[in-house]
């Protein structure tokens, strides 16, 4: 028997304690306070899960507030089981036991994973627990459909480096590609590829990422290439090219939410219809994900190695030369822990914890999904989720000592933000009018979680 999904608002009943007080916000100009030192992907400060995947060391209290990130592992994710998926409120950093962490309502159907978006919800997002520092990732996907409905398959780094495939539900013959360096908005970074009926037909989408170029492929054919050599920023003396360890993220989210900025709604194809035929028939919008394969970059020396246990940053510039492939641990003892005190909250010999409660330990409000639920009465599927991007954006960091003939950015101190032409119209913050989806998932996610 099929079952409609419970609205995410029901799941929020168990998270009210987290939302009792709004978490402090964070940005490049406003770092997290010492008592809530970790700046999450959603640009809010806290401890516990705030310090795991998505924690931005540039905006945190200190560069070592974030927990080191698990290194890249070659892996094929069959997407036919949710046994190795954990909600963000259940994951403490052990990537040997968990493949995916997320929020929302993933479901299984016909050997695939559906990412779903019930009425008035903010959708679903899943992220790998290990990181890629260059390499290839390929996913078999059917997108969602409908005005305002967005599907995403991206690489997203803790310092907002990003490489995207995105689908807008009103155009099933186009997939959009994009990339960002440290979240800096550049409207010239987008590019569209043609695809045949992304909703009803599976296609293989692939990102090939090396220190020198990004290649976007559809069904084995290269559709777009962006070379690192084309991204030199003369003003800031650096490469505006994604270059730091990133998680694979898949999501579905409401770009057409009526509370979004007009530019976002227009880009998403209009306001989302929560009474559409899709909702009436299935109880939710959805995207379908089949097999996802990750192949790590093979190199003997940095950048791009994966010889150790974890990655961390040794400099606030957060460029590829500041990434350390290390043997530092990645697992917290409790949701009270941080990168500087990973054992905080550890259970004592008597069986009691050293502390028993924490405010702001689960980013985004701690939505708890129902997990392994029955599928839908439909053969189509697609993938997506409250996308990965970050609204705080991030600034380009000037490196006066860099030269444009090498891609090891061992250069100078922080300076101003800018796009690839040295222009700076928005201080490096990804604004709500951006013509690309992922920046807004953050706003949608937080606002939706607070007010559902």
Residue 34 falls in the annotated catalytic set: no
Residue 187: its pLDDT value, please? 82
Which residues pair with residue 203 across a beta bridge? 141
Residue 418: its pLDDT value, please? 40
Architecture of domain 70-314+380-451: Sandwich (2.60)
Name the residue ranges covered by the structural domains of the chain: 70-314+380-451
Compute the distance between CA of residue 77 and CA of residue 360 in angstroms, rounded to an integer.
31
Residue 162 falls in the annotated catalytic set: yes
pLDDT under 70 in the chain at which residues?
Answer: 1-20, 347-358, 364-452
The catalytic position among 35, 105, 162, 291 is: 162
The catalytic position among 105, 166, 206, 278 is: 166
Residue 380: its pLDDT value, please? 32
E strand intervals along 21-161 = 38-39, 45-46, 69-70, 75-77, 85-87, 100-103, 105-109, 112-117, 124-128, 135-142, 149-157
The model's pTM is 0.80
Residue 348: its pLDDT value, please? 52
Residue 366: its pLDDT value, please? 34
């Amino acid at each position: 028997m099929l079952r409609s999904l419970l609205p995410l608002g029901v799941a929020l009943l168990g998270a009210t304690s987290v939302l009792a007080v709004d978490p402090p916000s964070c940005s490049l100009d406003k770092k997290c306070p010492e008592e809530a030192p970790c700046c999450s992907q959603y640009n809010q400060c806290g401890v516990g899960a705030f310090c795991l995947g998505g924690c931005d060391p540039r905006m945190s209290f200190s560069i070592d507030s974030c927990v080191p990130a698990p290194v890249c592992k070659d892996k094929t994710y069959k997407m036919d089981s949710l046994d190795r998926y954990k909600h963000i409120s259940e994951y403490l950093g052990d990537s040997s036991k968990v493949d995916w962490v997320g929020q929302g309502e993933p479901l299984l159907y016909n050997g695939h994973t559906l990412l779903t978006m019930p009425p008035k919800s903010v959708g679903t997002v899943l992220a790998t627990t290990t990181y890629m520092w260059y390499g290839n990732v390929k996913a078999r996907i059917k997108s969602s459909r409908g005005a305002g409905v967005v599907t995403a398959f991206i690489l997203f780094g803790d310092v907002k480096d990003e490489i995207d495939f995105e689908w807008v539900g009103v155009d099933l013959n186009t997939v959009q590609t994009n990339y960002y360096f440290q979240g800096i908005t550049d409207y010239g970074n987008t590019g569209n590829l043609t695809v045949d009926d992304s909703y009803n037909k599976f296609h293989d989408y692939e990102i090939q990422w090396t220190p020198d170029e990004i290649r976007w492929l559809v069904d084995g054919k290269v559709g777009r290439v962006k070379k690192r050599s084309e991204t030199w920023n003369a003003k800031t003396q650096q490469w505006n090219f994604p270059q730091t360890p990133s998680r694979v993220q898949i999501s579905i989210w409401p770009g057409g939410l009526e509370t979004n900025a007009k530019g976002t709604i227009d880009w998403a194809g209009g306001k989302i219809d929560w009474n559409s035929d899709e909702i009436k028939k299935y109880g939710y919008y959805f995207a379908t994900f089949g097999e996802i394969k990750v192949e790590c970059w093979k190199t003997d020396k940095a950048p791009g190695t994966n010889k150790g246990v974890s990655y961390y940053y040794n400099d606030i510039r957060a460029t590829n030369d500041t990434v350390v492939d290390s043997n530092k641990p990645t697992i917290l003892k409790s949701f009270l822990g941080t990168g500087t005190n990973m054992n905080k909250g550890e259970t004592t010999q008597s069986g009691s914890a050293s502390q028993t409660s924490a405010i702001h330990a689960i980013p985004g409000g701690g939505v708890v999904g129902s997990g392994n639920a029955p599928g839908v009465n439909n053969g189509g599927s697609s993938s997506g989720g409250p996308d990965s991007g970050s609204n705080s954006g991030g600034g380009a960091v000037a490196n006066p000592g860099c030269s444009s003939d090498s891609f090891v950015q061992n250069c100078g101190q922080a300076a101003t933000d800018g796009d690839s032409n040295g222009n700076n119209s928005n201080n490096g913050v990804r604004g709500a009018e951006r013509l690309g989806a992922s920046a807004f998932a953050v706003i949608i996610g937080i606002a939706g979680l607070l007010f559902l």
